[in-house]
Structure formats: C-alpha cells, structure tokens
Amino acid sequence: MNNPAPPGWNKTTDDLFAEVSRGERRGVGEPEFGWAKDYERSLLPPDTVYPRAGQIWEVITECDVLVRHIFATAASSSSGGKLASGERVRISQRGSDPKPILVSFLPLCYKDLQDSLVPADVRNEATYTSYVLSVKTGLFNKHFRLIEDVV
C-alpha cells in the first residue's frame, strides 16, 4: 500500500460499512478501505492459512456464511446462511490480493443447497442467475479444514 494508515488506525471493513449505514460517511473507498483490510489482517494469527483457488475444504463445525446473490443485471443483494458440518466447498478464484480478508467459495452440492441458502423471492426473480458464498478469513480458518490441495 502506498499510503500508510495514520497512527492509531483501528477500523475494520465492517466498521467502515457500519459508518455508511449510520450516515456518518457517504461511501467506502481508498485509502481507508485498504487501511481497514491491512488492520484486519494484522489481527489474524501468524499461522492463518489463506485458501487458494480450486482447493476443496470441508466444514468442521457449522458456519455462518454470507450468501451473495448474482443477477444478470447490475442488481445485487445478499443474505445470511449456514453451512452444516461435513459440507464441502471449492475455493473461488481470488483477485490479486495474496492474503484476502474474505474467502469466496461454492459448495460442491451447489444445486442441493440453493433452496436453503437463497430465499425463494430471490430465486424467483427473473434476472437471478446464481450465488456465491463467503466468510472472513479468520472464521474460515476456524470452521474449515483442507481436504484437497491444488498443484
């Protein structure tokens, strides 16, 4: 990051989005968003694993996930969901960040879980196409274990 955070910076990405929700800021952008990601990363234990695209992981304890709804239009929405112990997921391609604070993935039983993860009103939208799951990296490390690595 080119522009270091000011001394004492201690806001997370969730803190910034909460400020938007409360009307304290108009939006979240750089450099604050980068500072918040760096701060969150600094809170993770040194042995944190950052999953790689294509790996298969298994839920070891029930886990809350963010369900992002994908539409054929510019619309977007999300909801909360749960993955039960034993569910397996494949890590999605990640951007250029080698240590992301959010892990995105798809369940291997994608179609079987769609009804329980995506609300009916969303699935019934004409432009709804798919969903993707994500969870903060720290929680991912707590609730998942690696089953199959990629070369």
Question: Is the N-terminal amide bond of 98 cis, ω within 30° of 0?
Answer: no
Q: Does residue 19 sit in helix, strand or coil? A: helix
Q: Where are the domains of the chain?
A: 13-43, 56-148
99-126 pLDDT, tens digit each: 999 999 999 999 999 999 999 999 999 9
* Alpha-carbon gap, residue 12 to 40, rounded angstroms: 6
Q: Is the pLDDT of residue 137 over 50?
A: yes
14-50 pLDDT, tens digit each: 899 899 889 998 888 889 989 999 999 999 999 999 9
Q: What residue spans of 22-143 are helical by DSSP H?
A: 32-43, 110-117, 120-123, 137-143
Position 29 scores a pLDDT of 86
Instruction: Put the strands of the sheet holding 88-91 in their side by side order.
Output: 76-83, 63-71, 128-136, 102-107, 88-91, 56-59, 144-148
Tell me the whole-structure pTM to 2 decimals. 0.86
Residues 6+ apart with CB under 8 A from 32: 11, 16
